[in-house]
Structure 1
Amino acid sequence: MQACQVEQLLADYGTEIYRYCRRLAGFGPDGEDLYQQTFLRLLEADLEPDEGRSPRALLYSVATGLWRNESRKRSRRAAIARPVELDGDDPPPLAGGEEPEAEALKAAENRALAAAVERLPDKYRAAVLLAYGAELPLEEVARIEKLPKGTVKSRLHKARLLLKKEMEARGYGREEL
């Protein structure tokens, strides 16, 4: 792909792909690196969008592939030398007696849900971010993930169940009797 084409894709889809990369790889430097690598790969590999297929789907596909490769590298390295994890990243549970204002409650719920999505296994997280975060149709998600449409549906269903379970464990979504 020529530099002018990549520049046009960057102008058209840059913000959207940036958000996706940061959510997929994390909100730190890993997400930013993934974003940069996505557009570099387009220049280096001479990739072109298929006829009748959105260039947006190509960008998501490249970003997802790069992220998967990096995840595999990390898991191999972690098997050799276990990383030390620090606690305290989880949002605090809701206070039982006090009822915060509706906006603050919604914001806390959104943060807890975003954190829960980040803790999903990789295969579920990618499907959720593509289908719900990027609002891509199932057919596009299936093409990007290189999976049958039924598998994508299954992963989305399983991810919703996992998210529901975690959110309920944190006190969200339960109806008080």
Structure 2
Amino acid sequence: MQAPDVSGLVDRYGPEIYRYCRRLAGFAPDAEDLYQQTFLRLLELPGELDEEQNPRALLYSVAGGIWKNEARKRGRRAAIAQPLELDDENAPEPAAREDTEATAQGRAERAALRAAVDRLPLTYRVPALLAYGAELPLEAIAGIEKLPLGTVKSRLHRAKQMLKQEMEAQGYERQKI
């Protein structure tokens, strides 16, 4: 793919793809690396950009594929040598603004839901992020993940069940997830 085509994709879809990378990685430096690798990988692709082939879905597919490969590498490396855990107990607490109780409750619920989504297995997390975070149609998700439509639907259903159970176990009332 040519550099001007990739530059146009960065301009149109860059912030959206960065948010997706951030949700996958969960850590800003890893997300930035994933974001850069996604667009670099596009430069390596042969041929021209075809606007009718849904370039947005291509970007999500490339980013997800890179992330899955990295997750497999980390899994293999962790099996060989256990990673060191950093001690977060002594880290300073960030200064909090004064919020009303309702605003604080809403923020706590959203943070708990984000944490629950981050704990989902990758097979359920990626379709959930694509469906609810990027608001992609199920057909596009099936194309990105290279899965049958029924599998995408069942994974989304299972992800919602898992999130519902976890949120209820944490004491949050049943809400639309």
Q: TM-score range by the shorter chain?
A: 0.7 to 0.9
Equivalent residue, structure 2, for 1:53: 53
- Measure how far apart 1:25 and its partner are: 1.4
Equivalent residue, structure 1, for 2:160: 160
Runs of at least 4 residues off by over 6 Å = none
Q: What is the distance in 2 between the residues matched to 1:104 and 1:76? A: 40
Unaligned runs of 5+ in 2: 90-99
Distance 1:6 1:72, change over 3 A: same
Aligned residue identity for 1:113: L
Aligned-residue sequence identity (percent) comes to 68
More off after superposition, 55-64 vs 162-171: 162-171
Equivalent residue, structure 1, for 2:36: 36
Q: What is the distance in 1 between the residues matched to 2:123 and 2:3? A: 32
Distance 1:168 1:86, change over 3 A: farther
Equivalent residue, structure 1, for 2:73: 73
- Measure how far apart 1:101 and its partner are: 1.8
Q: What is the distance in 2 between the residues matched to 1:142 and 1:6? A: 24
Q: What is the distance in 1 between the residues matched to 2:161 and 2:86? A: 27
Unaligned runs of 5+ in 1: 90-99
CA RMSD of aligned residues (A): 2.0
**SS of structure 2 residue aligned to 1:113:** helix
Q: Tell me the TM-score normalised to structure 2 length.
A: 0.86
More off after superposition, 32-41 vs 47-56: 47-56
Q: Tell me the TM-score normalised to structure 1 length.
A: 0.86
